[in-house]
A = this chain, B = another copy of it.
Amino acid sequence: METRARITAAVRELLAEGSFHETAVEQVAERAGVSRATLYQHFRSRLDLIDAICETFDANPVLQRLRQTVVLPDPDAAVHETIGLSMQFWAIEDAVLAPLYGVEAIDPAAHDLVQRQRADRRSEMQRLAHHLHAKKRLRPGMSERRALDLLMLFTSYETFRELRFSGLTDAQLTKTLQESARTLLLR
């Protein structure tokens, strides 16, 4: 395995264990089986390690599928699937995302990640809201704009976490959100 890959793997492990932020670069290198000097040859700084992890999310296939789901001909299915896939993505990456979202305020790399993910999601939800509007499937009184706001809410990582904290399984929380979105948004 490539040295660089061994290092990022170590970082992912530590993030998933929730201990990355108490861990010195020294220990990260140790876990990766390289010297600290080597680590600094591959990454400019501690923050750069986080940057590298953030870049890996875009490649997730679930995100690719989401892009196609949003414009499903059946709006009902589009909403259902969009929420389902969103929650699936959060569930898969939860262990790594939790510590990253949890340092948003002080880690520029994490902050960038959060902003970028939100912006990407927003443009997808914008497409979905517009789609629902164009097909006249929005509930009476529900504007395209409000539909967008609620879709953002129902597909956010924070919502996923909130419901998980409440003790719901991934299947349960997905169902709760799908049914709520259906009731609120669709005619």
Contacts and interface: CB of A to CB of B under 8 A. Distances in A.
Interface string A159-180: 1011101101000010010001
A166 B149 contact: yes
A77 to B, nearest CB: 21
A80 to B, nearest CB: 17
How many chain A residues sit at the interface, stated as a range, is 20 to 34
A106 B15 CA distance: 12
A101 B106 CA distance: 11
A118 interface: yes
Interface in A91-121: 98-99, 101-106, 118
A102 to B, nearest CB: 2
Contact of A152 (B149, B150, B162): B162
A176 B146 contact: yes
B162 A158 contact: yes
Contacts of A148: 166
Interface of A: 18, 21-22, 98-99, 101-106, 118, 122, 146, 148-150, 152-153, 156, 158-159, 161-163, 165-166, 168, 173, 176, 180, 183-184
